[in-house]
Amino acid sequence: MDPTILDQLRAVTPEERAILEGRTTIDRALYMEREGTVINSRRLLAAGKLITIRPHTRFIRFPEHTHDYVEAVYMCAGETTHIVDGETLHLAQGELLFMNQHARHQVLRAEEQDIAVNFIVLPDFFLTSLAALGEEETPLRRFLVDCLCGQDRGPGYLLFRVAQVEPVQNLVENLLFALLRETGHRQKISQMTMALLFLQLLDHTEKLTFRDREEAAVLKALKYVETRYADGSLADAARRLHYDPVWLSREIKRKTGKTYTQLVQEKRLAQAAFLLWETDRRVSDVSLAVGYENISYFHRLFAAAYGRSPKSYRDGGAAPAS
């Protein structure tokens, strides 16, 4: 990267200076309204502007938030670790991460040598890029359409491992030059450069990492069932994972072929079988441990699943599958 750009982005900001002098939290007033967790574009973008850039705040963990704009993060030097919708992503020098308005995002502490630049972009800025991509359905096009429509149907992020792709690196540097210098045609130049960048990225989809939102939601729900099978609920899972419960229930059924209740029941009974085989706990205690307070109901479910009563299973059943 051009040393002039890097030196400009490396400079310690007033917020970072305050952190180095003892401040233990980000300055929320720079980003958010009152006590919310949504970073507000009006705090970062001048009136009438569709795009701007700012260096990522170092020396502190940036807490979980969403944006009312599209954010792109480019790693100029060093590395950063991002948690997007619960998934940990490591961003190395030369790599590029896009996130839509619905992505839940936090960033672990970065040090002085870790120079990342954040692109703050209003969705309308991408109209030129969308036109350039044509009509073919691709993850990039789906991402842009969702951003422009304010929808959350596709992937919440796109991560491009393009450090070795020179045309992409050149276009990102050109974009930074255009945004760091006030010129009369800055916005038009930036839009055209971004469109060219997306066309280059379209040629390197083998370097693209993303996770379908529905798949990610179901995987997180399955992890929840693994740990909270005894006392959890669909409503609690949806609340903890930040999803609408009706939507989550539908996606679980669509992706697994089973309802949330069926998944919980399978996990409870499998755990009960394990406890009956591996421990000497009373059947009533096993029933309570896996979430069934009604012992008779537990007996009926277990017999239906394993073809014998819990006691019979303990006395002569096969070992539960691991």
**Which domains, from first to last, does the chain contain?**
3-211 (2.60.120.280), 214-316 (1.10.10.60)
pLDDT-derived band of residue 156, with 50, 70 and 90 as boundaries?
Answer: confident
How much is the mean pLDDT over the chain?
Answer: 91
The pLDDT of 229-237, averaged and rounded, is 95
Task: Enumerate residues 6+ apart whose C-beta is below 8 A from 315.
Answer: none
Instruction: Report the C-alpha dihedral over residues 248, 252, 253, 255, rounded to 10 degrees.
Output: 130
The encoded tokens of residue 242 equal 């930040």
Output the pLDDT for position 322.
46
pLDDT-derived band of residue 136, with 50, 70 and 90 as boundaries?
Answer: confident
pLDDT tens digits for range 32-60 = 987 789 999 999 998 889 999 999 999 99
Output the pLDDT for position 186.
83
Task: Enumerate residues 6+ apart whose C-beta is below 8 A from 283.
Answer: 276, 295, 310, 311, 314
Task: Enumerate residues 6+ apart whose C-beta is below 8 A from 222.
Answer: 256, 263
pLDDT-derived band of residue 272, with 50, 70 and 90 as boundaries?
Answer: very high
Contacts 24+ apart (CB under 8 A), 41-47: 41/67, 41/68, 41/69, 41/120, 41/122, 44/120, 45/69, 45/120, 45/122
Higher pLDDT: 193 or 182? It is 193
pLDDT tens digits for range 109-123 = 999 999 999 999 999
Find the DSSP H helices in 164-309: 166-180, 186-202, 213-228, 234-241, 245-256, 260-278, 283-289, 295-306
| Side-chain-side CA neighbours of residue 293 (13 Å) | 1
Higher pLDDT: 219 or 177? It is 177
pLDDT-derived band of residue 319, with 50, 70 and 90 as boundaries?
Answer: low
Output the pLDDT for position 10.
94
Output the pLDDT for position 205.
87
Output the pLDDT for position 154.
73
Q: Using the 8-state DSSP alphabet, how is residue 32 labeled? A: B
Output the pLDDT for position 54.
95
pLDDT tens digits for range 294-307 = 999 999 999 999 99
CA angle 157, 161, 162 (to 5 degrees): 120
pLDDT tens digits for range 235-245 = 999 998 888 89
Q: Using the 8-state DSSP alphabet, how is residue 112 labeled? A: T
What's the Rg (C-alpha) of the chain? Answer: 25
Using alpha carbons, select from 37, 102, 34 the residue that is nearest to residue 65. 37
HEC string for 189-202: HHHHHHHHHHHHHH
Share of the chain above pLDDT 70, in %: 97
Share of the chain above pLDDT 90, in %: 75
Higher pLDDT: 183 or 128? It is 128
Output the pLDDT for position 318.
56
pLDDT-derived band of residue 139, with 50, 70 and 90 as boundaries?
Answer: confident
The pLDDT of 187-202, averaged and rounded, is 94
Alpha carbon 40 to chain centroid distance?
Answer: 19
Output the pLDDT for position 148.
92
* Residue 317 predicted with pLDDT over 70: no
pLDDT-derived band of residue 255, with 50, 70 and 90 as boundaries?
Answer: confident
Output the pLDDT for position 135.
86
